[in-house]
Amino acid sequence: MGNKNTENHTSELNKQLYEECVKEKVDFDKVEELLALGAEPMGYMNDVEIVYSEIIFGRFEDDDDDLTLAEITRIFLDHGMKIKCVDIEKEINSTDINPFWNIPYLSPKKAISVLRLLIDENIDFNSLDQMVDHCAIDSRMLTSDLKDVAGWTRMLMFVASYEFIIKADEYLQRVIDYENNQYDIRRFADPFQFYITFDTSGHLHEYNNQGIIVRIFESDTEKLVWKIRL
């Protein structure tokens, strides 16, 4: 009985944490207070919804220069948040997923501000590949807007600019055609110094964008530096 009451109490704190973190103007002192009381960013609000995952999705419409989500992430990390799971959706009968899966819903600028913090906290590669998978799958869908594909490409190249990640993550290597490009990938630590075009002259299959070639150029020299075949 005591354990059930404790679970219900934590779930209620988690719900309050979520509700505070998706407000237009977040009270960060309140966030700190709820965490001190036992709210868990990687916990559940109602047995199926993971707090941090839902916060990411709940703030995807923020303006590009709004760093609220990055500040929330920093506070959560300061309080010990760890994303250590392969695929939450496969582990429980849940409608929600690993927080990394939701990152591509953000604008590239907001996503990168969050990724930078998460990567600095000893990132879990299985979780990171949830984001890579989301970017790859949606990029290959025929209904994907090419502007979105450009944004997802920036996210992937930013993550790949970390040497310890690109050397260890074979899935990411395949998605960005790492072996077929010679450019210094560390330069993509600032992915906004590049512009992206698409060659859509290839054969497009009925249900995906396979056949499209993504081309990445240096903005200052207009030099082609990377190609990815979807």
Which residues in 96-140 belong to E strands, given as ranges? none
Residues found in the chain: 230
The predicted pLDDT at position 6 comes to 59
Cα separation, 68 vs 24, whole angstroms? 9
The predicted pLDDT at position 93 comes to 46
The predicted pLDDT at position 59 comes to 95
Are 148 and 135 in contact, with CB atoms under 8 Å apart?
no
What are the boundaries of each domain within the chain?
Answer: 1-122, 124-230
Tokens of 206: 């009925």
One digit per residue, pLDDT tens: the chain, 230 residues?
445 555 677 889 999 999 999 999 999 999 999 999 999 999 988 777 899 999 999 999 998 889 999 999 999 999 999 987 644 454 544 445 789 999 999 999 999 999 999 998 878 888 899 999 999 988 877 556 788 999 999 999 999 999 999 999 999 999 999 999 999 999 999 999 999 998 877 555 555 556 688 999 999 999 999 999 87
Select from 57, 69, 137, 68 the least CA-distant residue to 97: 57
Query: Which pTM was predicted?
Result: 0.88
Gap between the terminal Cα atoms of the chain: 53
Tokens of 79: 């309080």
